[in-house]
Amino acid sequence: MKCRKCTKHAVINMRQHKLALCSFHFLEWIKNQTQKTIERYKMFTPDQKILVAVSGGKDSLALWDVLQQLGYQTGGLYIHLGIQGVGDYSQESQRLTEKFAKEKNLPLHIYNVQQETGSPIEEIAFYNKRGKGKPCAVCGLVKRHTINEIANQFDYDVLVTGHNLDDEVAVLFGNTLNWEVDFLRRQSPVLKAKKGLLPKAKPFCRFYERETAAYALLAGIEYIEEECPFSVGSTSIQQKEILNLLEHQRPGMKLAFYIKFLKNKKSIFQNLDEDGDTNDILYVCPTCGQSTQSEGNCSYCNTIKRTQLKKNK
Ligand code: SF4
Ligand SMILES: [Zn+2]
Ligand SMILES: [Zn+2]
């Protein structure tokens, strides 16, 4: 198969776009499409300072690479969760993230959960009896809190994450199956700043996972191939498999499902602003100063306090 833009051999065929491209034109296409997504959803502008949440995986490192090539001012944040698994997952992903930042000469912040709170993620989850054996709920809570803390400390304007279309569609599908109305109304490629919370954006939200993987490979980015050991057998991975079967039968189905949801969201849900963002009332946590959905200490502060009390008993 030939590249649509030149006569060279195509390295990827994107059936949903009826587009086959060679390596050079594919890398260029990813950069152009990322810029279009940033503008389409009014994510951020070149004068803003952007914090990229990096895990050492293909999506976040590819996103950081594309943003710096597009000329945005970026810094990375790697959160060491203290997860071991085969080959010491956290240590290896930190090593690859540091290697990337050094090669590209980009600023990187490292936050070690155990050093900062006294416990790694699994221990915090254990003392809070959350997640039925998996630390994912606590992990999400700690990551959200840490990202805001570092962003405020170093004066970043926007947070970006490497969520791709497959991630977004799996979340959308799961929340629809369970009619999680509150989560559905909050799902968006961009969330505005709210009381102490940084605006958030997902510039890769319209790329399929195979496209971000192809970008990382062709751009020569070394990333951690293993997934977090706690993601094995997760509902979202099962849902991704179902969605892949549907996509195989109907190329473009995932993209259409997501785009049509975003288009119709405002007419389905109440209390959304003109851009489809929520107008929820937020309070300020008296301990850490971050936003919380109810009065009093936020969930993060309560969780860490409970861990320290139980651990020192
Ligand atoms: S799969 Fe791993 S990294 Fe993801 S939320 Fe769960 S514990 Fe955290
Ligand atoms: Zn070409
Ligand atoms: Zn707090």
For the stretch 291-310, pLDDT in tens is 898 899 999 999 999 999 98
pLDDT at 130 (0 to 100): 61
Higher-pLDDT residue of 196, 145: 145
Q: Considering only CA atoms, which of 163, 190, 206, 159 is closest in space to residue 62?
A: 163
CA distances from 104 to 54, 230, 306 (A): 14, 30, 40
pLDDT at 274 (0 to 100): 64
Measured in Å, residue 293 CA sits from the centre of ligand 3 at 11
Pocket residues: Cβ below 6 A from ligand 1:
135-136, 139-140, 228, 230-231
User: Domain map of the chain by residue range?
Assistant: 45-267
Residue nearest to atom 5 of ligand 1 (CA): 136
- Rounded Cα gap, residues 167 and 102, in angstroms: 28
Instruction: Reply yes or no on whether the pLDDT at 7 is more than 90.
Output: no
Phi/psi at 73 (5° precision): -85, 110
pLDDT at 234 (0 to 100): 84
Task: For domain 45-267, say whether CATH 3.40.50.620 is its number.
Answer: yes
Could you give the 3-state DSSP secondary structure of residue 173? helix
Measured in Å, residue 170 CA sits from the centre of ligand 1 at 16
Instruction: Reply yes or no on whether the pLDDT at 210 is more than 90.
Output: yes
pTM of the complete model beyond 0.85: yes
pLDDT at 129 (0 to 100): 77
- Rounded Cα gap, residues 213 and 227, in angstroms: 13
For ligand 2, an ion, list residues with CB under 5 A: 3, 5-6, 8, 22, 25
- Rounded Cα gap, residues 184 and 177, in angstroms: 11
Per-residue pLDDT tens over the stretch 229-261: 888 878 888 999 999 999 999 999 999 999 999
- pLDDT-based confidence at 61, cuts 50/70/90? very high
Measured in Å, residue 123 CA sits from the centre of ligand 1 at 14
For ligand 3, an ion, list residues with CB under 5 A: 285, 287-288, 298, 301
- Rounded Cα gap, residues 141 and 161, in angstroms: 15
What atom of ligand 1 comes closest to residue 234's alpha carbon? 1
Per-residue pLDDT tens over the stretch 112-134: 999 999 999 999 999 987 656 78
